[in-house]
Chain A
Amino acid sequence: MVKASQQEYEELIKGIWRDNPVFAQVLGMCPMLAVTNSAINAIAMGGATFFVLVGSSFLVAAFKSWIPKQVRISCFIIIIATFVTVADYTLLALIPGVHKELGAFIPLIVANCLILGRQEAFASKSTIRLALLDAIGMAAGFMLALLMLGAVREILGDGALFGIKLFGTQFEPWVIMILPPGGFLTLGLLLLLFNWLAVKRRKFLDEVIKAERGQS
């Protein structure tokens, strides 16, 4: 029993940092870069993706024994597209301003490889409970990455965060950061940071193992 709950915890937590969909697996880049020129847009996109990923993981895990193997991809895509349509119309009704700014990128959540990837690799092979936990973890990790990128780009490119000006009038915004090249460069540098942390962690673990061996 203890083991089972540990596995559940593991599925939930892995998506947030260690197997982070963006930094570790490099999935779902397209919406990631296109909408992260401000932190608000990043949160709206993250929220919509969260809803779609959790909803479709639930349905796929629930219906996995009825979906024929040969047409599974098409079935997954139709399920995902349904949830995206719901998210699209909901955002249009609730926050029309943000919806207009995100534009075509809300429907494009369908083509986010992260979502289809999770259905194919995980939800279609596991129980509803685990699939939900996995989806929540992955979506939270995705949202975290979106927010990091959006915050960096908005602070540097606009001198503001969530629309609140952070610096005085002397600050000259780096306009390039909210333009397309800034997205590529910021994500590249964030990945570099992630790699560096991963390498450091591995070195640390190696040393721990060595020290333990030395003792015994």
Chain B
Amino acid sequence: MQDLVWIFVSALLINNFVLSYFLGLCPFLGVSNSLETSFRLGMATTFVMLITALCSWVLNTYLLIYAPYLRLISFIVVIASTVQFIEMLVRKLSPALFRALGIFLPLITTNCAILGLAIFATNKSYGLIEGLVYALGAGLGFTLAMVLLAGLREESELSDVPALIQGTAMNLIIAGILSMAFMGFAGLFSAA
């Protein structure tokens, strides 16, 4: 149980996928201009991550012990088909959300956070339960980082920022400061 809590907190805060592994930066910088959208994208990503963790465990246990060189290709195919499924589901259930997410929903496929999750979980040889907890932590951590950046960006829209620094340059510097703040969590578990 303690191990599971540790895995969860570590993926959520200490080794946050966005701010310390640099995974999933494209949606992080691209769609984080409104709180609402970034929260929903974060949730969609968390959902895809949970399914990815499940699929990658099945693949690892039953297929890849026989053919390890197929790892990358089989992971990416499974992830791509999952995303297609989610895309159809979202289009059916909420056309407004579908329009709001736009190009970034199909691009979850090329979101390195998803593939990174599958690869990291494999490298750490997590079991099924550990993998799912890890995915949940990573997904929520991604959502947290997205929402934080979106909140800061919404604030900065009202303030007077020089034209030169506006856009990606400023977002990256904000992300750098956030990342510095998250480094503070590194001491969280050292006593235990």
**Chain A residues packing against B (C-beta within 8 Å):** 26-27, 29-34, 73-74, 77-78, 81-82, 84-85, 88-89, 103-104, 107-108, 110-113, 116, 176, 179-185, 187-189, 191-192, 195-196, 199
* Cα of A125 to Cα of B54 in the assembled complex, Å: 36
- Nearest residue (CB) in B for A199 is B164
Quick check: A78 and B77 within 8 Å, CB to CB? yes
Q: How far is the CA of A213 from the CA of B89 in the complex (A)?
A: 57
Q: Name 24 interchain pairs, CB-CB below 8 A, sorted by A.
A: A27-B26, A29-B26, A30-B25, A33-B22, A34-B21, A73-B106, A74-B81, A77-B77, A78-B76, A81-B73, A85-B73, A107-B72, A107-B115, A112-B112, A113-B26, A179-B183, A180-B179, A181-B176, A181-B180, A184-B173, A185-B172, A185-B176, A188-B171, A195-B164
| Known pairs A108-B115, A182-B176 / 14 extra A-B pairs, C-beta < 8 Å | A34-B22, A73-B80, A81-B76, A103-B123, A107-B72, A107-B115, A108-B23, A111-B114, A113-B107, A113-B110, A179-B183, A184-B175, A188-B169, A188-B170
Q: How many residues of B contact A (CB 8 A)?
A: 44
Nearest CB in chain A: distance from B149 CB, A: 11
Query: Which are the 4 A-B pairs with shortest beta-carbon distances?
Result: A184-B176, A188-B172, A111-B112, A185-B176
Contacts of A29 in B (CB 8 A): 22, 25-26, 29
B contact patch SS = helix
Instruction: Decide: B20 and A180 in contact? CB cutoff 8 A.
Output: yes
